[in-house]
Structure 1
Amino acid sequence: MTIVGSSLCEDDLKRYYCVSGRNEQDSALVTMQLLLENFCHFLCANNGIGRIIYESRELLENERLRDRYYHMKLMGSMYMDKNTAEKRLLGIDFIDKDENCAGLQIADFVPLGFARDHAGMNQGNPNIFSTLKFHRYDGNQNMRDRFGIKYMP
């Protein structure tokens, strides 16, 4: 398994980049940008195409995430041009927890360890965090902190 993801501290994002009433940050867009850039990198390196799967939330939350996804796909980003996004990203789907999707069940246990690590918290016992850290995507450059799980202040 290869792990790609992102983690963001909303308090730090607001402290560093927010100018009240003038520059409000969208943390979901920032984390999705990090995720999609590294996922596209992975897809390009492996000559692949892929689809983003989220566990369904409330309808409005799903639509907000879908809007952010298509914003990134249509505009590109700092590290992902729109042509690459168009070629490599097939879409975004939302699956209900009731569907008992094996992929979502596996994905349920992965983020917690990274979130705890990013927050400076101890890992629970038992845990498989050291194994998960090893399986982060390294960008074929041995850079798991950059391409695997990207922590943003």
Structure 2
Amino acid sequence: MSYNLYLDESKMSGNNIGGYSVAGVIIEEGTQLYNVRKELGRVKSEIWSSKFGYGKSKQIVFHEAEIRSHRGATLARKPEYSAFRKAKNVRTAVNGIGNIVKKFNLPILGVVEDQKAIEEAYKTKRDSHTSYYLALEQIIENYCYFLKNKHSVGRIICESRRNKDGSVLDQRVRKMYMKILVHGTLRYSASDLQDCLKDIIFIQKQENEAGLQIADFIPRPFLINYFKIEQTKPSIYQILRKARYDGGIGAKYGASKFGICIYN
């Protein structure tokens, strides 16, 4: 048995707010991953099959920010996103993601960091690099806890940020990953981590990987909730909240320890 942890990130700034989140979803390889991909294709077909047919519809990539904005530059690059001018199609897409998480009982892992609070408390400067490292270390620790409970192994899959200038950002994340695997974490030795984790890989958005498209919808709702901002409608936050991995000890105590960890 093997699992994939698909990760994405989100940040929030303004009005004395500085927040950063890395979070994602665990999907078992094999039958579960196949069924998740099939269900995501079905959701897309609800939106586009009448225009493009099922085959082309399932090849269209979901991106939450553009689904919710569907304006100007987005439509110039993705004319098919004009479908999201209809609120009904936005609901189909967003709620479709939430229903997949719920239907397949997909565990959520992640970290929310209040960068401003940490800067003030510890007299230091936080940026995306330092915040990502902190999040990745905690996520790796909790992912290994999950894998040990399942007597299994897994890999981490991130969206590639390769561009015309190369893959510097991907290489930076890989270096973080390797550093954590060499040094271990507070609770796990390097050998513990290496026994659990197979690799970290980077997949570009246009490859249409279902797990990454689901992960794209996960970090921001937790950031919004932390800063007590009203969730963007339609919202799947309550579904995601209930899906936080609880480590087998129950949501009351486990979800904030093993699921979504808060640093402030």
Whole-angstrom CA distance in 2 between matches of 1:87 and 1:13? 33
Whole-angstrom CA distance in 2 between matches of 1:45 and 1:90? 16
1:129 aligns with 2:240: no
The residue correspondences of 1:4-153 to structure 2 (distance < 5 A) are 4-19=109-124, 26-58=130-162, 59-142=167-250, 143-153=254-264
Q: Deviations over 1:88-144 (max 9, x none)?
A: 011111100111111111111111211211222211111111111111100111210
User: Residues 2, 85 of structure 1: CA spacing in aligned structure 2 closer, same or farther, 3 A cutoff?
Assistant: same
Q: Deviations over 1:20-70 (max 9, x none)?
A: 7xxxx9222111111111111111111111101110114111111111111
Aligned length in residues:
149
TM-score, with length taken from structure 1? 0.91
What is the one-letter code of the residue matched to 1:108?
D
Runs (5+) with no aligned partner, structure 2: 1-105
What is the one-letter code of the residue matched to 1:137?
Y
Whole-angstrom CA distance in 2 between matches of 1:80 and 1:117? 30
Whole-angstrom CA distance in 2 between matches of 1:53 and 1:6? 16
Runs (5+) with no aligned partner, structure 1: none
Q: Deviations over 1:2-35 (max 9, x none)?
A: 1111111222222222457xxxx92221111111
- For residue 214 of structure 2, give the secondary structure of its aligned residue in structure 1: helix
Which shifted more, 117-126 or 60-69?
Answer: 117-126
Whole-angstrom CA distance in 2 between matches of 1:63 and 1:11? 27
TM-score, with length taken from structure 2? 0.54
- For residue 140 of structure 1, give the secondary structure of its aligned residue in structure 2: coil
What is the one-letter code of the residue matched to 2:185?
S
User: Residues 53, 85 of structure 1: CA spacing in aligned structure 2 closer, same or farther, 3 A cutoff?
Assistant: same
Which has a greater percent of strand? 2
Runs of 4+ in 1 over 4 A off after TM superposition: none
Partner of 2:73: none
**CA RMSD after TM alignment:** 1.5
> Percent of aligned positions with the same letter in both sequences?
32
